[in-house]
Each structure stands twice: as structure tokens, then as C-alpha cells.
Amino acid sequence: MARRKRGVIKASEPAAVEGADDLQVLHPNLAADLNGRQVMVREYGFVEGLQLQAELQPFLNGLYELAQAGTTPSLDEILVLIGRHTDIVMGAMAISADVTVDELKGLKSQIEGRTLLMKWWTANGPFFWRCVHDRILGERELAKRRGGQISTPSSSAPATETSNPSGE
């Protein structure tokens, strides 16, 4: 009788189920530390985004200006913009992480703060870019519609000749 070889059977890793990341892509939830406790940074929901858009308009205007340059803004440019709008950005971050602005202001660690900021941008940056992109597309559509129109109404038609009462 033949002897069977004994050995370690190695099976390849099972293929990832297609779509397994879909929820993470659609609604990214990212864990971050905040003063020693873990918080979940999440993407804004639809209604939440609508409500925040008006409040964040000064920040969105700054992103729009960066986008008008025709190139993708660098991280440094975005961080400078965030620095110019710290109060409204901190409010937006607090909503995303379900914490208070005071908790964010009480951050003692630069590393924790920077990591939290990056995770917030990862989760919500696409929301901001969609707002900017929608504005750009809206302006292009408006310009296209106005393209064939005259910007000012034409002057009235010339007056017709009238008979001169003196007969001349």
C-alpha cells in the first residue's frame, strides 16, 4: 500500500467578496482618538449636509477659489484655508465626530488633533468637493445659456416719420 505524504496544506486566501467595501466607501466611519478616548468620525448625512452647507459657505467659497486655479489644491493650501475658517471647521468636525467644539478645543495632543482633522477630511472632503463641483457646473450651465443672449436689451426701434404740420 502506498504511503501518503504528510505535509501542510496551504490554501490560498479566499477572494474578497465583491462589494464588501461598499458601505465603507458610501459611509466611511473612521476611528480616531480624542483626549484618550476613541470617537467615530463619520460622513455627513444628506439632510445634515444641506444644513451645514449654508454655515460652511465661507469655507466652500475658499475651496471654490482654490479650484478655479485649474489644479488640485495641495494639502498645505487646504490646511491654510482650514486655518482661516477654524471656527466653522471646528463646528463641522464636532458634528462629524459627535463631540462638542469645547472637546476639540481641549485637545492637548497635536498628533491626535492632526489625525482627527485628516480623518474628518477623508470622511467629508468629498462632500465639500461635490458642493464646489456643483457650483462650477451650475455657473458653466448659466454661462452657456447666456452665451447666445444679448446682455442688455436692444434700444427701441427708430421713430417713424411724422408729417410736419407746417407742410414742409
Residue-range domain boundaries for the chain: 28-143
Residues in the chain: 168
pLDDT for the residue numbered 44:
95
Alpha-helical runs (H) found in the chain: 22-26, 46-55, 57-68, 75-84, 86-97, 101-105, 110-146
| Residue-level pLDDT at 74 | 93
Global confidence as pTM: 0.69
CA 136 distance to own-chain centroid: 13
CA 65/CA 55 separation, integer angstroms: 18
- The pLDDT of residue 41: 96
Segments in the chain below pLDDT 70: 1-27, 148-168
Collapsing DSSP to helix, strand or coil, 111 comes out as: helix
Radius of gyration of the chain (CA): 29
Q: Given this model, what pLDDT does residue 20 score?
A: 45
Give pLDDT, residue 23: 44
Residue 70, pLDDT score: 81
